[in-house]
Structure formats: C-alpha cells, structure tokens
Amino acid sequence: MAIRDNLNEVRASLAEGVTLVAVSKYHPIEALKEAYEAGQRVFGESHVQELVAKHEALPDDIQWHFIGHLQTNKVKYIAPFVSLVHSVDSLKLLKEIDKQAVKCSRVIDCLLQLHIAQEETKFGFDPEDIDTFMQSEELHALKGVKIVGLMAMASNTDDDEQVENEFAQVKDIFDSIKERYYVNAPWFCQLSMGMSGDYPLAMKHGSTLVRVGSKIFGERVYT
C-alpha cells in the first residue's frame, strides 16, 4: 500500500486550503484505483487519450484536471467531463474550449498558464502579454469558460531561491490581475503551482492547487 502511505504523507504536509491534484499520467489504472480507495478524488493528466481512457475506467465522482499542453483539435474529447483545465496558453485554445463547452451545455473552469521558468520549452503566456489578453473583448464574450485563476511551473533547478522568486513573481501577477479584473469575482481564486520537488515552496507563496505526481505514485515509466 505504498500509494496510500505516500498520499497520507503528502496530505499531512499540505497548508490549509490547498487542494492536492494527484498527477497520475503514465501510471496504470490500478495505481489510480489505489489512490481512489485512499480517498483521493482529484486527478491530473496531461494526455487527452490517456485521460479519456482513465475517465471511462474509473468512478464518476472523480474530478479530472487537464494539466498538459492541450491541442485545440483534442478539446472535444475531454469537454464533456473535464473539471479544470490548468494549461490555457492562448486565446485560440480558450475559444475552442468555450465552443466545445457550449456544445455540451457546460461552463468549463480554466486557469491561464503563465510562462515563468527559464526553460525555453515551457508553454504559457509571457507575463508582459497577460494584460493585453485580459483586456481583449473576445475573452469577455466567451460564455462557456470561466477563468478561475492562474497556473505556472517554476524552473527545474536545485536553486530554491530562484524557484521561490519565480513563485513570488507569479503570486504578484495573480494579485494584480485579481485586483484589476476580478475584484468582484470570488471564483478567481485558484493558483496552481508546485510539483513533487517544489510544492512546499509554492505553498509559501500562496499556491491553492498543488500538482503532485512522483511523490505519490513513484517514478513514471515513459514507454
């Protein structure tokens, strides 16, 4: 029952008000079942096909979060059931989520992903572009999506000070967007940051959703 023990250890380390997203990508259904039986109900996946298969195989009371780069042509497969998309990185993608949500008579909660890490390969809005995005009229016309906060990944480095600086920067951007655009919008309250290696630092800087994979399920085997 290693998964149960790992889960309990992570849960015990969570700050008040922080939701644990168990990142189960690349792990088999059995591993998710074990976490489910230990009470976990929020799971994060980063590939559409894998998410669809796991959604079909597992109980209905799971909240499925999509955390990876989402291609517009695949939104339709997850729109009927996904409960939160963490990784919205363009207006084009948001418009497609909106379109598919309307088709299923849903409003899908979304986070805007900020690009903050040093790595070139990570997706997301540059901090300097987020204001322009927030002001676009097209954004406010969308009825099938609700922006409930921001998501970011820190650099993959052992330098804790740098990681903390990045989380602090994201928190500042979150606060300023909240103040400027969502001051009367209580739903804009989620800040998704922190993974197995850095979630304690993320919680110090106001994270409300931590995305923890390997610390619960062990190392992923990429096949």
User: Exactly one of 3, 10, 20, 25 binds ligand PLP (CB under 6 A); which one?
Assistant: 25
Rounded Cα–Cα distance for residues 28 and 135 (Å): 42
By CB under 6 A, is residue 173 in contact with ligand PLP? no
Instruction: In angstroms, give the least distance from the CB of 18 to ligand PLP.
Output: 14
Q: Which stretch binds ligand PLP (CB under 6 A): 77-85, 168-176, 179-187, 192-200?
A: 192-200
CA dihedral 41, 88, 186, 190 (to 10 degrees): 50
Q: Which stretch binds ligand PLP (CB under 6 A): 33-41, 125-133, 164-172, 213-221?
A: 213-221
User: Exactly one of 23, 48, 62, 193 binds ligand PLP (CB under 6 A); which one?
Assistant: 23
Q: Six-digit token pair at 194?
A: 């922190």
User: Exactly one of 68, 124, 144, 206 binds ligand PLP (CB under 6 A); which one?
Assistant: 68
User: Based on CB atoms, which residue is closest to ligand PLP, 64 or 142?
Assistant: 64
Q: Which stretch binds ligand PLP (CB under 6 A): 29-37, 76-84, 167-175, 210-218?
A: 210-218
Instruction: In angstroms, give the least distance from the CB of 148 to ligand PLP.
Output: 17
By CB under 6 A, is residue 54 in contact with ligand PLP? no
By CB under 6 A, is residue 206 in contact with ligand PLP? no
Q: Pattern 31-50, binding to ligand PLP, x per CB under 6 A?
A: ---------------x----
By CB under 6 A, is residue 144 in contact with ligand PLP? no
CB-based contact 158:195 (threshold 8 Å): no
**Residues contacting ligand PLP: total by CB under 6 A:** 14
By CB under 6 A, is residue 13 in contact with ligand PLP? no
3-class DSSP string for the chain: CHHHHHHHHHHHCCCCCCEEEEECCCCCHHHHHHHHHCCCCEEEECCHHHHHHHHHHCCCCCEEEECCCCCHHHHHHHCCCCCEEEEECCHHHHHHHHHHHHHCCCCEEEEEEECCCCCCCCCCECHHHHHHHHHCHHHHHCCCEEEEEEEECCCCCCCHHHHHHHHHHHHHHHHHHHHHHCCCCCCCCEEECCCCCCHHHHHHCCCCEEEECHHHHCCCCCC
By CB under 6 A, is residue 214 in contact with ligand PLP? yes
Q: Six-digit token pair at 154?
A: 């820190």
Which residues form the interface with ligand PLP (CB under 6 A)?
23, 25, 46, 67-68, 153, 195-197, 211-215
